[in-house]
A and B are shown apart, each in its own frame.
Chain A
Amino acid sequence: MPTESKVAKLSDISKIIKDGDTVAIGGSWLGSHPMAVIREIIRQKIKNLTAITVVGSIDIDLLIGAGCLSRLMFSFVSMEAFGLAPNFRRAIEKEGLPYDEITGLAVIIGLEAGGRNVPFLPYRGPFGSDLVKYRPEFYKEIKCPFTGEDLIAAAAIVPDVAIIHATRADNTGNVQIDGTSGTDVEMMRAAKKRIVSVEEIVSPEEIRRNPAKTKIPGFQVDMVIEAPLGAHPCSCAPDYVFDPWHIMKYMQAAMSPETFQQYIDEYVMKPEFEYLEAIGGMKQAAILRRLAREVKFL
């Protein structure tokens, strides 16, 4: 019997992501966020999502600005050197977006607990932090049952869906990540349904030539989507760098809701291949790949 292919088109994501779902979004800082899938969520007008990010940036800011989120769990959302995330700030300062700010390790350990199917995991957590006090549904101060030591319990996090972007996969969903995996692996283990977009779909034989690179085996994946440059304007290390020129354009657009709407219309509300043309096509892709290769060691 032939193996069942999990390969799907971007437009198929609505078979998995539904209005009101809790969605864990992979990637970290300005790296490897599943931006093609994020744009597709906006195109399909999937709404009332709760997003979970550890270290988010333009992925979260774009979803907020497009009105897709009704709640956000995060430890960090920033455009790094480009500044604070404009839609994220506006939504919290002016529009009252509900959010759960959780320390970075608690989100990661919570996802790990979700993946292990236990309600919490203990660690020497952030005692004294106000975040522990403000969000008791995610933190409890506990005593070690063996030594009596004070510990913090991080509540398990079980997302409805995890979406990540990776280097390559085969059609059964064996995923290889050559660069920064962030918390992608933990998100995929914890979530009920899982979507991965990849730079390239390769043969099962090619995956098996280098099995040590496989971070997520196929049984933990429900859908595989080929999306070359699918992290743009974020990086997919070590293949291409983030696109600072596009991010500056984004920052400018996100200054006000009106100009941001123009950005959405101009770049997002069109098929993904037209997005890639709009950001400079093959020529821009070549520059970003070249920059990622030309590094200098000391």
Chain B
Amino acid sequence: MTQYAKDYSVGELMCVALAREIDDGDVVVLGSFTPLAYASYILAKITHAPNSTLLAYAAVDFKPFQLSFIRAESSATRGAACIWTMLEDLNSVHLKGRGDVEAISSIQADGYGNINLSAVGEYDSPKLRGPGGAGAPEVIKMHRKMIGYFPNHSKMTFVPKVDVITGTRYVIGAEERIKAGYRPGPIRYITNLAVISKEEKDKPFKIDSLHSGVSAEQVVENTGFELEVPKDIPETEKPTKEQVRLLREEVDPYGTMAFDFKPGKERLGYLNEILQKELEAIGYA
């Protein structure tokens, strides 16, 4: 019988939920360095999805590695089976429609499958200029699933309509996607409160599962767009004892994943702690 963990953080729960989105044999792309997503893919690879192919930076099918704040790129590169240019990667994975999962996050998201990484406020005179979407606008449309993760489920993030549509899923629904040359798959958002997803264009996001101790009302209250609330909503599957052990002891012993959950002010101090541990691990005091 599966032994579920009693003691786990919401970050670990989200990480495991994201890992469970990866099926064995999937092609999984890692974009910008986001520790939570990296940890979840590596966890999937060393547990239920050993035949998945992971891509990061120029590295293709790299060996799973221990996460580090500084060494993700050199780890992926040194463990790679193949080194591609970005264009080779795009041609083979993105444009060919062979990508399964490449989790994204966003400053704002709405109920239509739109994300905003560009600007809060007016596009030409923004209150906040975001980083831009990199490949996200294309990725969320082309890959089989559109997976987003949001450490802060709130009306600040989940808005009625994003200020700028940096990118959008665009073709939603199995039939539509096949007709447009894409593989069918859901939009699914994993948050610190729940898992929500959208499978059809004309239907709202639905609450798939609630994290332990979270009510449906709480999720609705913190979401700026309409949600379908089924009568019986299951609890989000907890991480197993083994998954939590692997995350803490093997995948992420330096605690890089928790970085995403630290408030802005605490980040620098936390980062210094991680860096100190990393130096000590290679013999520098």
Contacts and interface: CB of A to CB of B under 8 A. Distances in A.
Interface of A: 28-31, 54-55, 74-78, 80-85, 88-89, 92-93, 101, 103-105, 108-109, 112, 123-131, 134, 149, 178-186, 215, 235, 237-238, 241-242, 244-245, 248, 287, 290-298
B166 A182 contact: no
Interface in B53-96: 57-58, 63-66, 68-71, 73-75, 77-79, 83, 85-87, 90, 94-95
B237 to A, nearest CB: 23
Contacts of A180: 57-58, 73, 77
**Could you tell me the dominant secondary structure of chain A's interface residues?**
mixed
A251 B279 CA distance: 21
A192 B275 CA distance: 42
A125 B275 contact: no
Nearest to A88: B129
A-B interface, 9 closest residue pairs, ranked by CB to CB distance from nearest? A78-B131, A76-B134, A104-B135, A295-B75, A296-B66, A292-B74, A128-B168, A126-B137, A76-B132
B201 to A, nearest CB: 12
Contacts of B64: 297-298
Contacts of B46: 298
Contacts of B75: 295-297
Contact of A183 (B35, B85, B251): B85
17 contacts: A54-B86, A55-B134, A76-B132, A78-B131, A92-B126, A109-B90, A134-B123, A178-B77, A182-B58, A183-B85, A185-B85, A186-B86, A238-B78, A291-B278, A293-B74, A294-B282, A298-B66
Given A76-B131, A244-B70, A297-B63, A105 B57 contact: no
A83 B46 CA distance: 30
Contacts of A125: 138
A109 to B, nearest CB: 8
Interface residues of B, number: 70
A80 B33 contact: yes
B30 to A, nearest CB: 11
- Select the residue from A28, A88, A179 with max chain B CB neighbours within 10 A: A179
Contact of A248 (B74, B268, B281): B268
Contacts of B58: 179-182, 237
B134 A93 contact: no
Contacts of A92: 126, 129
B11 interface: no
Nearest to B94: A105
Interface in B136-169: 136-138, 141-142, 164-168
- Looking at B123, B132, B168, B170, the one whose CB has the most chain A CB atoms below 10 A away is B132
A109 B136 CA distance: 15
Contact of A295 (B42, B79, B134, B170): B79
Given A55-B32, A297-B65, A181 B86 contact: yes
A183 B84 CA distance: 10
B57 A76 contact: no
Given A80-B33, A130-B166, A297-B63, A182 B85 contact: yes
Contacts of B137: 103-104, 126, 129, 131
A248 B69 CA distance: 13
Contacts of A178: 77
Given A101-B118, A291-B282, 15 more contacts: A83-B264, A84-B129, A93-B125, A104-B134, A128-B168, A130-B164, A134-B123, A179-B74, A179-B77, A181-B85, A184-B85, A185-B87, A237-B74, A293-B74, A294-B71
B130 A84 contact: yes
A215 B66 CA distance: 29
Nearest to B35: A81
Contacts of B135: 75, 103-105
A204 to B, nearest CB: 23
A112 B126 CA distance: 31
B73 A126 contact: no
Contact of A287 (B78, B271, B279): B279
B38 to A, nearest CB: 11
Contacts of A89: 128-129
A84 B119 CA distance: 12
Contacts of B278: 291
A295 B75 CA distance: 5
Contacts of A77: 131-132
Contacts of A241: 70-71, 73-74
Contact of A123 (B71, B95, B132, B133): B95
A112 B123 contact: no
A59 B191 CA distance: 33
Nearest to A91: B129
B230 interface: no
A92 B66 CA distance: 38
Given A131-B166, A244-B271, A291-B70, A108 B129 contact: no
Output the residue of A29, A81, A185, A215 with the most chain B CB within 10 A: A81
